[in-house]
Chain A
Amino acid sequence: MGYQHIEVELRDHLALLWLNRPEKLNALSADMWDDIPTAMGILDADDGVRTVVVAGRGPAFTVGIDIALLAGIQPEGESQAAANLALYHTIRRLQRTATCLAESPKPVIAAIHGHCLGAGMDLATACDIRLAARDATFSIRETRMGLVADVGTLQRLPAIVGPGHTAELAFTGSDIDADRALRIGLVNDVFKITGPTFARTADVGNAVLPVLFGRDGNVGILIAFAMVPIAYFLIYRTTLGFEIRTVGANPSAARYAGMSPRRLIILTLSMCGLFAGLAGAIIILGPSLGYYPAVFGTTIGFAGITVALLGRSHPVGIAFAALLLGGMNAGAPAMQIVADIQREIIDVIQGLILLFLAMEVVIRRVLRVRAESIAPEELQTVSASYGQGSTT
């Protein structure tokens, strides 16, 4: 569909209305205010759609109206009255966006994670049902900016949480967390996971890995690092590992020594599948995902190749390389928000690290670092056995 910052995804009878502007934490831009009613109009008329879920892509549901947009709707006009009238029409137009959710003939569910601030409350309160992730925070943020929450929150919230809580939220503009939101009835339920809540399939349900620290520090990390000594022991301390290394270094020699390269390669690849499967399980059951998206893990797979190359195909080296790349990826959103540097630059940096690794010889020469000279025949390369298969 031709929307710029929202996205409509149809899954059988369920329609997902995504706020899709993750780089700005889904701050509602002018086109989003306009596109939501358009999209809802289409969904309302579609008899195949039975339920609509509103959710946000990226780290938050939405942080509210785009401040840039807010600055642009300062009242202007020939007279004070004309200016106020223009502002009134603007507000009515914004209200339409929340109202279209409330007036939809279909059940509309807000799936909230991360921040749900300001205009986010307008959208959420206009939905029939609100479900939240553990990391959700709510706030009538308009108060703190000297504005009135005039797009629907103040009218709809009392019916949901009662006048007392509404007054507190509206007067103080303070943030409340998911627990408080559940207690006062703002949300119907809070899920154990963080991140987008809605799309978990029934099979996964609440079966997520327990969190040990922070937001995403789950047991999967322990499992992954437990694999490091296991892989090390397997490769360097067992007969099987010796055979695998021999086949990798020289299949012909291995065959003369009575090993079967074909059997060993099949066995090794099966074990690789074991590790890859473990990775998939940790991604799916990790608290920040907890559902099965159509495409996932391909970028992680390629990052895995990078990590293996960076760690020089050694389990311990790989552990450090994985921490490095993981840290860079985890820091990328913060870098974008704090320093306004596009996160894609992280890919470039990772590529450059690999590049320097590959150009070790050149860099040694430039920096005049002495190293034992290696005969060309002994140059060990990953690509040496590319495409040659087993020479049986």
Chain B
Amino acid sequence: MDFLYQIPVLGFVFQIVGYLIDAVVNTNLAPQTLALATPIALGAMCGVMNERSGVVNIGIEGMMLTAAFVGFMAAVIVDDAMPDAQPSAFFGFTPALLVGVLAAIGAGMLVSALHAWMSISVRADQIISGTVINIIALGLTSYLNRTIQPSGSAGTFDSFDPPEALVDLPIVGWIFNMFLSQGPITMSVIVIVIILQVLLFRSRWGLRTRAVGEHPRAADTVGVNVFALRYRNVILGGIFAGLAGAWLTLEFNASFQNGMTANRGFIALAAVIFGRWTPIGAFGGALLFMFSEALGVAIRSNPPPGDLGVWLSGIQASYPSIYNNSFSALPYILTIIVLAGVVGRSIAPAAVGQPYVKEGAH
């Protein structure tokens, strides 16, 4: 390998590739990426469900935050009520955690129902509706968190421990490590993405959903109930936002902090556009985004060896703040490059954002 690294200029590229491969195969980068991408991917599934059926949802952030808070509170309350419950060997399930996840999903669906009502029945502006949800969710959860000041915690789900033999396999071991050393919510994401992709493009429901998002009048003409389908999809989308919230307070953290979604809902929206409104594409977008973020952290904490490392540490010594901050900007820069160059034009469902009015019924 060394002689490859010695080639002028081109050797640099080999060093970068070598470092990336090493980081993915030999460090915790891959499982970390998948875990961090979970709430983004789930939020994006919520976005796909909404926008494919013609409803803009910029309130994913608020839905996630509400779900995170409600799920956490429910889990803490149940945990207080039954302190003797032992975590089961299966992902460390406890009744408290289970109730927390269900409560989070319920909260996500409830907020989604509000959004559905506002944008489908009231025909309010969907951007305003989403903004309202974001603002109220942030304010209300922070207010309640300060007022209640929940003490204690219900803990988190354990991640699965894949058998050593699988993880230690040469070449492919890291793939097993990436997908199996995860908590239950992260693991479920992969299943959800695949199922949703198949349903959306291979089922009657999917065809109808896409029709309603592209041309609701045409769909209505052939007997699809536009209102019911939109309601159902928006509310079902809330399940995913709720799961994303549950991941925040019941799998990744064991506590709730004000505004802890930290713009993940908006990044999820970017992932939807990135993936051209397909579940698999959005999932890929979430992975890419979080990979660059995890990579930025990895490079700073564990700089590459050889010329590349010397070069990087030279920059770091001369311009420390620029060096550190440019890695924080890495995901965003990468997204812009990919959106502008690789993905090409992404075209939204034609009827997205337009409330449907049945002919002669206003």
Contact = CB atoms under 8 A, between A and B. Distances in A.
Interface stretch (B137-145, B278-286, B299-307): B137-145
B136 A352 contact: yes
Contact of B353 (A360, A375, A383): A383
* Highest count of chain B CB atoms <10 Å: which of A12, A375, A387, A389: A387
B325 to A, nearest CB: 8
A306 B51 contact: no
Contact of A379 (B123, B132, B138): B123
A348 B320 CA distance: 40
Contacts of B56: 383, 386-387
A361 B353 contact: no
A389 B345 CA distance: 9
A40 B310 CA distance: 34
Interface string A322-353: 00000000000000000000101111111110
B1 interface: no
A358 B127 CA distance: 10
Interface in A157-182: none
A362 interface: yes
A307 to B, nearest CB: 11
B273 interface: yes
B135 A357 contact: no
A358 B124 contact: yes
A230 interface: no
Interface string B86-128: 0000000000000000000000000000000010001111111
Interface string B343-357: 001011110111101
A371 interface: no
A357 B362 contact: no
A355 B122 CA distance: 11
B125 A351 contact: no
B258 interface: yes
Contact of A348 (B51, B140, B348, B357): B140
A266 interface: no
A360 B174 CA distance: 55
Interface in A350-384: 350-352, 354-355, 357-362, 373, 375-376, 379, 381-384
Contacts of A348: 135-136, 139-140, 143
Contacts of A349: 139
Contacts of B355: 376, 379, 381
B147 interface: yes
B61 to A, nearest CB: 10
Interface residues of A, number: 38
A354 B118 CA distance: 12
B129 interface: yes
B139 A351 contact: yes
Contacts of B127: 309, 381-383, 386
B134 interface: yes
A271 interface: no
A344 B135 CA distance: 10
Contacts of B352: 383, 386-388
Contact of B354 (A298, A309, A346, A384): A384
A386 B136 contact: no
B26 to A, nearest CB: 30
A381 B132 CA distance: 15
B345 A355 contact: no
B345 A354 contact: no
Contact of A357 (B128, B140, B345, B348): B128
Nearest to B114: A355
Interface of A: 12, 23, 298, 302, 305-306, 309, 342, 344-352, 354-355, 357-362, 373, 375-376, 379, 381-389
Given A351-B132, A386-B353, 19 more contacts: A298-B263, A309-B127, A342-B142, A342-B146, A346-B139, A347-B138, A348-B140, A350-B139, A351-B135, A358-B125, A359-B124, A361-B124, A373-B362, A381-B355, A383-B353, A385-B353, A386-B127, A387-B352, A389-B347
8 contacts: A23-B146, A305-B131, A347-B135, A359-B124, A361-B122, A381-B127, A383-B354, A387-B56
